[in-house]
Amino acid sequence: MNLPNGDLRSKICVSIAEPSVRACLDALREVSFAEVRLDAIDGMAPDEVAAIFSLPLRLIATCRPGRGREEDRLALLLAAVAAGARCVDVELETDVAFRASVVNAARAAGTEVIVSHHDYARTPCREDLCAIVDACFAAGADVAKVACQANDARDASRLLGLLDDSRRLVVIGMGAEGVITRVVGPLLGGEFTFAALHEGAQTAPGQLDVVELERRMRVILP
């Protein structure tokens, strides 16, 4: 695979998890494709979302559960879709009504849907992984994202094996043993991979900064 510079960078999504809208906007000046972690922004209100998602960038709206009320999280995701987010991420395990609200709003707005699954302890067996992928698409995904803790090389290999699929997938092995999936996944047919803006800004275990990730990808490319 021989990808021009622009095509390679289109496969790297920078994950932005800044504590304020201003810091988020400052970080976005350096990128063209990013995931914005709305759950990381302190006191984020729906009426502030447009400042971010009206930018002429390829942006994924993500708001992970756990920091506040589910109705507030839903309001942020819907506001991002309304403001022009290119993609919106909703977890497979999220309440069905919540997920349906996001998917329906995205369909109406022409926003792509990423349905994601995260396992922070292990990588399931191949059969279970395939069932998870199928469930993501059944839930309305345009892109299925499967991120699992890779505890050894076989876990990483099993995740990469999911890319033998005609559907659009992102596979991530979290942790040190999963770094290889972040580097070669998009080179083997994955939609894209995630990177930190710089060292120290990682949003998940094993995530490389964007400069290092691109360097490693170029070592592999002919």
> Active-site residue numbers?
118, 145
- Helix residue ranges per DSSP H, the chain: 5-9, 21-28, 50-53, 70-83, 96-109, 126-138, 153-161, 179-184, 210-220
| 177 C-beta neighbours (distance < 10 Å), count | 18
Q: Measured between alpha carbons, how far is 110 from 133 in angstroms, rounded to an integer?
A: 22
Region for 35 from its dihedrals, namely left if φ exceeds 0, alpha if ψ lies in -120 to 50, beta otherwise: beta
Q: Measured between alpha carbons, how far is 154 from 52 in angstroms, rounded to an integer?
A: 39
CA distances from 94 to 71, 73, 89, 197, 217 (A): 12, 11, 11, 28, 33
CA distances from 25 to 22, 28, 93, 152 (A): 5, 5, 30, 37
Quote the longest CA-to-CA distance of the chain. 48
